[in-house]
Amino acid sequence: MNIITPVLQARNISKIFPGVIALNEVNFNLLPGEIHGLMGENGAGKSTLIKCLTGVYSPDEGDVIYCDNRVFFSSPLESSKAGISTVYQEVNLIPTLSVAENICAGRQPLKKGIINWTFINAHAKELLAMLDVDIDVSASLSEYSTAIQQMVAIARGLDLEARVLILDEPTSSLDEEEARKLFAVIRKLKNDGMGIIFISHFLDQVYEICDRLTVLRNGEYIGEYEIGELSKHELIIKMLGKDLAQFEYRSSKNTVNKKSDKKTFYRVKGLSKRNGVLPFDLDLREGEVLGLGGLLGSGRTEIARLLFGIDKPTTGNASVWGLSGFIKNPKQAVDKSFGFCPEDRKVEGLIPDLTIRENIILALQVKHGLFKYLSVKKQKEIADMYIKLLKIKTPSSEVSVSKLSGGNQQKVIVARWLAANPKFLILDEPTRGIDVGAKVEIQKMILEFKDQGMSILFISSELDEVVRCSDRIAVLRDRHKIAELCGDDISSSTIMYTIANANTNASANTNANVSVNCNSGGQNEAEVES
């Protein structure tokens, strides 16, 4: 048996933050030509380990060994120059710069001291083409969806000359299709001998592409496994330290097929936005979860933003609680007891300077208004309750939210809106970057809140999740609402079929090719129009 020496190694690495032991004597071995999954719950220390390997942090104890040499990278720039290219979980792209600038920033090729724009644009285009993304690279980044932005971040990290590629949750906002494109590239790089570290909370993806796994729990090293020797179930137990709570919560979902008894409180007709979504009708009903099914860029987020008054519609009309008229801005929406948990937590959700407590109670405080200030004691109570419920990993509620791990930050945003207890809550990718255990918790809570009368608009790239939580699903394709499913029609296969079916009939200009009637009580069969 010949022994391949690891290309990158961590030996007994420890890293301590105030109040948290993020890593405690962790070992890690990356071989050349393998895809190595780094697994663990939110806050287990995955990102911290990556940062210790690449020079963002210097480990308090332990060694980093790269190509048989002990190394001390003092900055990420150094490690990337040495051949470790990294896509960090929280990518600092600059929305106002162009796509090409974002990809090439920091390593602009100069020609006689002048930036060579032709080269930059061509280079950016080339890198994106590898990921099968074809966009205008001179447009500013902010014009593109979160998914494209994530692809841009990945392209930025792709360096064909590198020996190691590290991807920290690269697929968190990609759908299956996009993820597959990424995997094709990764596999190719692996076959060329590159060592790849892959972090993801999607177990399916991990099992699809990883060769070996290293599991961390609570900053402790649990073990290193061949992918074949560990079943998903065993992996979950290794990650959580216990078995996964089953998704048992039985809501009224499947018992009520008759929907006519639920009151519609928000109705839009022919709502559209130029370059956003084509005209659509939507009824939102009290005590119901409406899922939005569809692929990336199908217009899900655009619908959410229109409904919440963030974007102005081009056409259509709306009535809310019996009053006709659009919601013009988020303030109005909040006054109507609406809530919006946005997709991009860093830009649209977190208030980085504030503590976890303040971030959690903020929406509730806005609801109470300026003068009814919640006492700090009360705030602490609420924050501590959600820290416990959602298992937010932190030494205290008084820690700055920016110190949390990515998934825990996401939990804070979700907690913020659950704490505010709005009558209508839009959840745009609420479980993005959240581990398997907490995901189940959040889904449970969504259904609990629904049963208490909250109406929810649920958006997720994970079809399973949408199917599990929704009473009704609006299916979108190419920025176009093509169908509405309810009752027994709600299943991943129906949704995929509906999307594919619309594909063959492709004519995006008429309103609905496939329509399923969910309005009349009792009748819920699909009427497929030709």
Ligand X SMILES: Nc1ncnc2c1ncn2[C@@H]1O[C@H](COP(=O)(O)OP(=O)(O)OP(=O)(O)O)[C@@H](O)[C@H]1O
Residues that bind other proteins (CB under 8 A): 16, 18-21, 58, 60-61, 63, 72, 74, 308, 310, 329-331, 333-335, 340, 342, 347-355, 358, 362-363, 365-366, 368-374, 395-396, 398, 400, 416
The CB-of-491 to other proteins minimum distance in angstroms stands at: 33
Which of 46, 156, 163, 305 lies at the binding interface for ligand X (CB under 6 A)?
46
Among other proteins, ligand X, Mg ion, none, what binds residue 194 when CB lies within 5 to 8 Å by partner kind?
none
Rounded distance between C-alpha atoms, residue 278 and residue 509, angstroms: 8
Residue 120 or 387: the one with the smaller Cβ distance to ligand X is 387
- Helices 356-368 & 376-389, crossing angle to 10 degrees? 120
Which residue's structure tokens are 């022919």? 270
Which of 9, 24, 29, 47 lies at the binding interface for ligand X (CB under 6 A)?
47
The CB-of-85 to ligand X minimum distance in angstroms stands at: 19
43 binds ligand X (CB under 6 A): yes
Contact partners, residue 66, CB within 8 Å, separation at least 6: 7, 8, 9, 82, 84, 164
Q: How far is CA 131 from CA 84, 186, 447, in A?
A: 19, 10, 37
Amino acid at 292: L
Residue 61 or 204: the one with the smaller Cβ distance to other proteins is 61
Tell me the sheet residues that pair with 317: 269
Tell me the sheet residues that pair with 196: 35, 165
Residue 19 or 109: the one with the smaller Cβ distance to ligand X is 19
> Exposed/middle/buried for 16, CB within 10 Å: 0-12, 13-18, 19+?
middle
Among Mg ion, other proteins, ligand X, none, what binds residue 353 when CB lies within 5 to 8 Å by partner kind?
other proteins
403 binds ligand X (CB under 6 A): yes
Residue 323 or 370: the one with the smaller Cβ distance to other proteins is 370
Residue 52 or 271: the one with the smaller Cβ distance to Mg ion is 52
Instruction: Give the strand pairing for 195-199 and 164-168.
Output: parallel
Among other proteins, ligand X, Mg ion, none, what binds residue 362 when CB lies within 5 to 8 Å by partner kind?
other proteins
Rounded distance between C-alpha atoms, residue 47 and residue 405, angstroms: 8
The CB-of-501 to Mg ion minimum distance in angstroms stands at: 38
The CB-of-480 to ligand X minimum distance in angstroms stands at: 34
Rounded distance between C-alpha atoms, residue 228 and residue 211, angstroms: 8
The CB-of-349 to other proteins minimum distance in angstroms stands at: 5
Give 33's Cβ-side CA count (13 Å radius).
Answer: 5
Binding residues for Mg ion, rule: CB under 5 A, are 47, 89, 405-406
How many residues belong to the site for ligand X (CB under 6 A)?
20
Amino acid at 64: V
Going by C-alpha positions, the residue among 430, 500, 470 that lies closest to residue 251 is: 470
Among other proteins, Mg ion, ligand X, none, what binds residue 396 when CB lies within 5 to 8 Å by partner kind?
other proteins
397 binds ligand X (CB under 6 A): no
The CB-of-308 to other proteins minimum distance in angstroms stands at: 8
DSSP 193-247: T-EEEEE-S-HHHHHHH-SEEEEEETTEEEEEEEGGG--HHHHHHHHHSSPPPP-
404 binds ligand X (CB under 6 A): yes
Which residue's structure tokens are 């593109």? 144
36 binds ligand X (CB under 6 A): no
Which of 45, 291, 299, 422 lies at the binding interface for ligand X (CB under 6 A)?
45
Which of 157, 293, 406, 430 lies at the binding interface for ligand X (CB under 6 A)?
406
Rounded distance between C-alpha atoms, residue 293 and residue 499, angstroms: 9
DSSP symbol at 311: S
407 binds ligand X (CB under 6 A): yes
422 binds ligand X (CB under 6 A): no
206 binds ligand X (CB under 6 A): no
Which of 12, 16, 17, 237 lies at the binding interface for ligand X (CB under 6 A)?
17
Helix (H, G, I), strand (E, B) or coil at 515: strand
> Site residues (CB under 6 A) for ligand X?
17, 20, 22, 40, 42-48, 89, 393-394, 403-408
